[in-house]
Amino acid sequence: MQEQPPQNEHKAEEKMNWLKLAAKFSADGDLRGMRACAQEVDKLAEGDVDAVAVNAEAALYSGSIEEAQQLAEQVLRVSPRHPRARMVWAGLAALEFRLGDEISLLADLIEELSYKAKILGEDDPAYSIYYQMLRRARGWLADAFYLGGEAKCAAHELLMSSRLAKEPSEEAELYSKYLFMRNYRYLGAREGRQKAELYNDMVAVTSYTHENALRTEHRKLRIGYISPDFREHAVAYFLTPLLRHFDGEQFMVFCYATGRNDAVTDRLRSRRVTWRDLRSRSPRTAARLINEDRIDILVDLSGHSQDNALPIMAYRPAPIQISGIGYTNTTGVDTIDYFLSDEICIPYGDTTAESGFTEQILRMPHSHLCYAPEEIRPMPKTGFEAPVRRNGYVTFGSFNNFAKVTDETLLLWRGILESVHDSRLVIKGKFAALMPARIF
């Protein structure tokens, strides 16, 4: 008769199984499932710190901040290096916008989790728990660096996150975010293109060939715009004139939305366009719908920005595909034929800039941007007195996401301020809440 394992060993195995399930529920956002797992762990050993830590994490994600703090403190008093409790503590720091504390906590936690995952190996029962926490910690650290204006550090964390991804689609999504973040710091045309071309391999699929695509002389040209940003977003300011002023005798316009809706979305939908909501569709089924709409030219407005449509573009649902307006660099996707630009952004003869694109540059004669904010919202009257007359000095302003501001930009700003006597610079943004930003 086979000998039964000792009771304590059986309990340890059962506990580990519940904690692994809690980690899965955490990844899926199932807070009720997390609490149920914590309850089962607590049944095995009342007051178990791992159960308390799971409840602390669930409380954090549900917005029960006081409960999360109380439970995390309870765990850390007993086990100061407890990974999950430290993760919760970092999350609490993030909610209070204590970026310095959050970055320090997460960097320390990532170092420890990376070491543990490496030492344990994939066959160890605890590996999946540490691995899931490591992936989340790197994502949080990327966000913290981004908010703190450290674009290069944020990009590194996104790259490392992409390498931890289990699914190809997740790897591609994280790597796309990495490419977007790298745009905040100059890479160089050749290096930038090489990095973008790696993304193409991640989304490579069997694409439509359009061998029989014909357009009769009397049929309207069917233009499709695809974007997550048909909403209160900068892209909407540039797109609105295109939807308002196209020639309905020659063109049919389709809008394919991959992002959330708001009041601006409703306004855009009222234009003379055919609207398709793709949010619930996979890239494959979305591409099939576009192909069935017999689109002649499909224009991607997002590039590598958030919730982008590049996995759909990879299927080449239209015979001619263009990217531009919402992203200023190459996509690296070989099914995109052209990149929309102009003589100012990429002058004729600038072979260095051109070499950084996998797409052929399609230049507009003046600007490729049709900026019309008044079509989104009423603009204020401009009849007020210039502040310089009241203040006696010139005030410059920057309301940019500070991650976009480079050291070179700061030096240029300093030169401007020094050349304009007694001038001031107003910086508005989350970064300005940090102490280093106030003294830079």
What is the per-residue pLDDT across 42-95, written as a single tens digit (0 to 9) for each? 999 888 999 999 999 999 999 999 999 999 999 999 999 999 999 999 999 999
Same domain for 405 and 292, yes or no, is no
What is the per-residue pLDDT across 323-332, written as a single tens digit (0 to 9) for each? 999 999 999 9
CATH number of the CATH domain containing 72: 1.25.40.10
Same domain for 413 and 293, yes or no, is no
277 is a domain residue: yes
Same domain for 17 and 133, yes or no, is yes
Given 351, 373, 395, the domain boundary residue is: 373
Same domain for 366 and 408, yes or no, is no
124 is a domain residue: yes
192 is a domain residue: no
211 is a domain residue: no
**Counting every residue, how long is the chain?**
440
Confidence grade of residue 433 (pLDDT, cut at 50, 70, 90): low
Same domain for 356 and 411, yes or no, is no
Same domain for 148 and 236, yes or no, is no
CATH number of the CATH domain containing 329: 3.40.50.11380
What is the per-residue pLDDT across 219-264, written as a single tens digit (0 to 9) for each? 899 999 999 998 988 888 888 888 888 888 899 999 999 999 988 8
Q: What is the mean pLDDT of the chain?
A: 90
pLDDT at residue 187, rounded to an integer: 79
pLDDT at residue 431, rounded to an integer: 72
The total number of structural domains in the chain stands at 3
Mean local confidence (pLDDT), 349-364: 94
For the ranges 97-111, 295-309, 384-398, the lowest mean pLDDT is seen at 384-398
More confidently predicted of 83 and 184:
83
189 is a domain residue: no
176 is a domain residue: no
- Considering only CA atoms, which of 160, 298, 324, 165 is closest in space to residue 224? 298
184 is a domain residue: no
Q: Quick one: residue 324, left, alpha or beta (phi over 0 = left, psi -120 to 50 = alpha)?
A: left
Give the amino acid at 327.
Answer: Y
Entry pTM = 0.87
Same domain for 357 and 412, yes or no, is no
Same domain for 135 and 227, yes or no, is no
Same domain for 326 and 351, yes or no, is yes
Same domain for 253 and 139, yes or no, is no
Domain of 426 in residue numbering reads as 387-439
Give backbone dihedrals phi and psi of 73, rounded to 5 degrees, phi first. Answer: -60, -40
Cα torsion at 193, 198, 199, 201 (round to 10°)? Answer: 130
Helix (H) or strand (E) holding 353: helix 351-355
Same domain for 87 and 233, yes or no, is no
Same domain for 326 and 422, yes or no, is no
